[in-house]
Chain A
């Protein structure tokens, strides 16, 4: 591994690892990595691949690193904010539509959390909120494949106590 690169090691499946090598500047989009590199003295930073055990799949890690690559690039080449926003929105769309049940989306969100990539985390939280708007309870359950663990009476009680009525 060259001195200016960092390798992230992701789980492709249970047994197989997949390595992603990126430039140090890209890796520094992650606050965790940034702190580690900055605090490290003397020792060559990150000689070993970073094991990302909490990140579900190579695909997720790849997308996360794509985000980091773009943003590191945008930072050094001062790409205008509007263009960055457009790219971000497209990224969020891609993440949401990557699979039917937003599993990838959740995993990227959790990965952003794990690696402390604040901007990505916020971007996806906002996209998540937008997704929740204007959906009924049942639609929400279907979209996100959530099992209803309320009993019928419990659910009815919740709905009734907070329902707004214009009689």
Chain B
């Protein structure tokens, strides 16, 4: 914060100091003849005020007020973090979110956020968008570090490969419940995104569909990838720096788990909730040597030893492993 005059010379008198237009931020200054009101507030002051509002308040209340407020609300400074998850998370999964109409809307909103943020965008949390907006983002936001695109039924390997090539700074990636992303693009992510330490690739609970009743199309629930082991191989080979991994309800086998744990020695947090094919003893054996593992979330269910077929039993209940007894053995 200088008090030099505009031409860089030192001030000789208080007259000179205070006749110059210096202030905390670059401001145009207010004409002394006008009364002055909020639309006169320097853009920087407005941007600062807007930074204290949440996304919805900025977007829906402040930006339509007038043109100068609209312009301030689009300042890149306000678009480091774009979090739609706060709105999705307020209600249960909703059937409307699975419609094409909603997807188009979300795609448009993501594109606006990308246009505003560009290289400033560091974090994006959204659901139900498609390849269209994700590819758009991947081409324009090289500095993104945390990306959450859960339940995006129409995000495929196409745009995830673009993320891999455009967004090398990614540290955290959540692609939970995106069943049209395969391990093929995850391989590219691993190969190009060397800073990636957190990956969430959770699947929906297919054992107890009542959780998603009326919201998620049944055919979608049934198309969960079965390639738990293939993905484990990708993680081990291409993402050795992983620290935090969540793969709830994955079809990972004990063999795949071993590959994973051996290949990712830096794992500190591993969430295997609902991984039906893993049993307690095998889990303990395999993870015994994982030196850095601090949090291990176990599959935490009980299935009678004799059978694994979901069709045989009409209704699964999940029991805490502590209550397992031999009485259930068949």
A56 touches B29 (CB 8 A): no
Task: Tell me whether A54 is interfacial, beta carbon within 8 Å.
Answer: yes
Interface residues on A, range: 35 or more
B94 touches A166 (CB 8 A): yes
A167 touches B2 (CB 8 A): no
Which of A109, A113, A144 has the most chain B CB within a 10 Å cutoff?
Answer: A113
Task: Tell me whether A5 is interfacial, beta carbon within 8 Å.
Answer: no
B66 touches A39 (CB 8 A): no
A103 touches B35 (CB 8 A): yes
Taking CB atoms, residues of chain A closer than 8 Å to B41 are 106, 109-110
Task: Tell me whether B36 is interfacial, beta carbon within 8 Å.
Answer: yes
Taking CB atoms, residues of chain A closer than 8 Å to B67 are 149-150
B37 touches A133 (CB 8 A): no
Interface residues on B, range: 35 or more
Task: Tell me whether B222 is interfacial, beta carbon within 8 Å.
Answer: no
B37 touches A51 (CB 8 A): no
Q: Mark A64-90, 1 if CB is under 8 A from B, else 0.
A: 000000000000000000000000000
- Contacts known (A52-B18, A125-B52, A146-B66); A116 close to B1, Cβ less than 8 A: yes
A147 to B67, CA, bound (A): 10
B39 touches A146 (CB 8 A): yes
Taking CB atoms, residues of chain A closer than 8 Å to B32 are 11, 53-54, 56
Chain A residues within 8 Å of B, Cβ to Cβ: 11, 31-32, 35-36, 39, 46-54, 56, 101-103, 106-107, 109-110, 113-114, 116, 118, 121, 125-126, 128-130, 132-133, 135-137, 140-141, 144-150, 155, 158-159, 161-167
Could you write out 23 A-B pairs with CB less than 8 Å apart?
A31-B24, A36-B11, A49-B14, A51-B19, A101-B37, A106-B36, A106-B37, A106-B41, A116-B22, A129-B50, A129-B52, A129-B53, A130-B52, A132-B53, A132-B61, A137-B64, A145-B37, A146-B65, A146-B66, A146-B69, A155-B64, A162-B63, A162-B112
Closest 8 CB pairs of A and B: A129-B52, A167-B96, A144-B38, A162-B59, A113-B23, A128-B49, A35-B3, A158-B64
Chain B residues within 8 Å of A, Cβ to Cβ: 1-3, 10-11, 13-15, 17-19, 21-25, 27, 29-30, 32, 35-42, 45, 48-50, 52-53, 56-57, 59-67, 69-70, 87, 91, 94, 96, 102, 105, 108-109, 112
